[in-house]
Chain A
């Protein structure tokens, strides 16, 4: 069992989830609170990782963040090292890769809340920001849980982006899903099956977390 890879995977998935929620909350709220060409475009871009092969995302990030582009050079100068083949690079890749899994449940959750609640709050003097935190967020708790769990597990399971962007550096960029690939290539099937089991257990627990919560005192369904 590669505990270094396990720890790295958890760290990556945890950090990704936190950053992703911070990014996805305002983004999802903006998408949910209107319609128009701009919103459709943003939504399409957000959904892109669902249909693109992960290797394609990894490839573009690798090239885009490398020394060939001005952005890549600027980032490299700022950080003192290239984003490619580093934890920060993996983090960025994971955030982009899992973005739809955070944004889409939140958009659906926000859209299911009737406008009348936000309007009622505004009629009591609450600013849009205040009603977002007081009314919208508490009412979207199930969507929030779903977004967090999906972001976390999807990041745990990513492979293509990690391999393209991070390579396979033990302790830096070698996650569980990459480790299992290595173990199989070295014909260490016992190790591989232990790693695989850990990943399966993760997924089952995560899905259970989502589906047991569904039955909770849902805001819409009452007590």
Chain B
């Protein structure tokens, strides 16, 4: 495991985009170790992550990451800057795991890791890192299976492990990462990810529509509505409003039954 010092970061994201029914206009900063972007399905959360990753281009926008002493502008439409995805040093675990079907799980995990040199020390380090990622995601029985032999939840865990093994880079993005996982496993994974985050220094940006997941992470929440971020803060405060809104909806639908 690399002994990265605690690094400061300050990421700025500004995106404005319109295609069909989707209208996005967001501006936020990432300063906390773990931030959750919370919105209903189909609100364009995944699109935001893809734009930060460079897999999609916004109509207008700017993505600037400061990580340690380094400040890099990844996207800036006004200056026609659009760094290609593979040079951004950001990780995205997409909703669909997209494990390489022609590689076993262990080869999938090693794909993003630097090739170790052919000496004892380098190899030990390589496999120690691999071991700890496998331990974290509870996938040791899967290492020599092919992706087609895995269940949905298993594939998801391997996809997360693959991203972590490659190193967080400047930012780790998780798109609905815990779908199809039971609560115990999810909480273990969250605890493990927090430890890794503290060591790596780079922040995590997670996207979800599941309130349970938000509370499980105990992270800073950005609530999005109609393509805009409407509230930022701790889950207890930001989602109290959300919960009230949901309860209000429930109350209204219950009325006709009572009346």
Interface residues of B in 79-102 (CB under 8 A from A): 84-86, 89-92, 94, 96, 98-102
Within 8 A of B (CB), among A112-127: 114, 116-117, 119-127
B148 touches A125 (CB 8 A): no
B163 in the interface (beta carbon within 8 A) = yes
Contact count A vs B, C-beta below 8 Å: 66
Chain A residues, Cβ within 8 Å of B166: 124-125
B129 at the interface (CB under 8 A from A): no
Chain A residues near B111 (CB, 8 Å)? 121, 124, 126, 134
User: Is A124's CB under 8 angstroms from B55's CB?
Assistant: no
Query: Do residues B96 and A126 form an inter-chain contact, with CB atoms below 8 A?
Result: no
Contact B149 A120 (CB under 8 A): no
Which residues of the partner chain B approach A119 to less than 8 Å between Cβ atoms? 55, 85, 92, 94, 98
Q: Which of B102, B112, B159 has a CB less than 8 Å from the CB of A125?
A: B112
- The answer to whether A125 and B86 touch across the interface, beta carbons within 8 angstroms, is yes
With contact pairs A219-B101, A223-B146, A223-B148 given, residues A120 and B94 touching in the complex (Cβ less than 8 Å): yes
CA–CA, A127 and B87, complex, Å: 8
Find residues 128-175 in chain A having any chain B CB closer than 8 Å to their own CB.
128, 134-135, 138-139
A34 at interface, CB cutoff 8 A: no
Chain A residues with a Cβ closer than 8 Å to the other chain, count: 21
Convert B134-173 into 0s and 1s, putting 1 for each residue whose CB lies closer than 8 angstroms to a CB of A. 0000000000001011000000000100110010000000
A residues less than 8 Å from B159 (CB atoms): 120
A123 adjacent to B149 (CB under 8 Å): no
CA distance A116 to B97 in the complex (A): 9
Task: Answer whether A134 and B148 are a contact pair too, CB < 8 Å, given A123-B163, A125-B86, A128-B86.
Answer: no
User: A215 contacts the other chain (Cβ, under 8 Å)?
Assistant: no
A122 touches B148 (CB 8 A): no
Is B74 an interface residue when CB atoms closer than 8 A count as contact? no
Question: Is the CB–CB distance between A139 and B101 below 8 Å?
Answer: yes
Would A123 and B85 count as touching, CB distance under 8 A? yes
Bound CA–CA A223/B147 (angstroms): 10
B46-76, CB under 8 A of A: which get 1 and which 0?
A: 0000000101000000000000000000000
Task: Report whether B163 and A124 are in contact in the complex, using a CB–CB cutoff of 8 Å.
Answer: yes
CB-CB < 8 A to A138: which residues of B? 102
Residues of B within 8 A of A223 (CB): 146, 148-149
Contact A114 B98 (CB under 8 A): yes
Q: Is A222 an interface residue (CB 8 A)?
A: yes
Shortest distance between the CB of B8 and any CB in chain A (Å): 23
CA distance A125 to B84 in the complex (A): 10
CB distance from B83 to the nearest CB of A (A): 11
Chain A: minimal CB distance from B50 (Å): 8
C-alpha spacing A120/B156, complex, angstroms: 13
| CA–CA, A143 and B182, complex, Å | 40
Nearest residue, chain B, Cβ from A223: B148
In the complex the two chains form, what is the Cα distance from A126 to B96 in whole Å? Answer: 19
Inter-subunit contact B146/A116 (CB<8 Å)? no
A123 touches B53 (CB 8 A): yes
**Contact indicator B85/A124 (Cβ below 8 Å):** no
CA distance A73 to B102 in the complex (A): 49
Could you say which residues of chain B place their CB within 8 Å of the CB of A116? 94, 96, 98
Q: How far, in Å, is A38 (CB) from chain B's closest CB?
A: 20
Give the docked Cα–Cα distance between A120 and B146 (Å): 17
- Chain B residues contacting A125 (CB-CB under 8 Å) are 86, 89, 112, 166
Q: Please give, as numbers and ranges, the residues of chain B lying within 8 Å of A121 by CB-CB distance.
A: 86, 100, 111
Q: Which of B96, B101, B146, B162 contacts A124 (CB 8 A)?
A: B162
- In the complex, A114→B159 CA distance in Å? 16
Task: Please report which residues of chain B, range 27-51, place their CB below 8 angstroms from some CB of chain A when the two chains form the complex.
Answer: none
Q: Name, among A119, A122, A123, A126, the residue most crowded by chain B CB atoms within 10 Å (CB to CB).
A: A123
A222 to B91, CA, bound (A): 27
Closest to B91 in A: A123
| Contact status B148-A222, CB under 8 Å | yes
Listed from nearest, the 4 A-B pairs whose CB atoms lie closest are: A124-B112, A222-B148, A116-B98, A120-B98
> Contacts A119-B94, A135-B102, A220-B101 given; 16 further ones with Cβ under 8 A?
A116-B94, A116-B96, A116-B98, A119-B98, A121-B100, A122-B85, A123-B53, A123-B90, A124-B91, A124-B112, A124-B163, A127-B86, A139-B101, A219-B101, A222-B149, A223-B149
Using a CB–CB cutoff of 8 Å, the interface residues on chain A facing chain B are 114, 116-117, 119-128, 134-135, 138-139, 219-220, 222-223
Binding site for A on B (CB under 8 A): 53, 55, 84-86, 89-92, 94, 96, 98-102, 111-112, 146, 148-149, 159, 162-163, 166
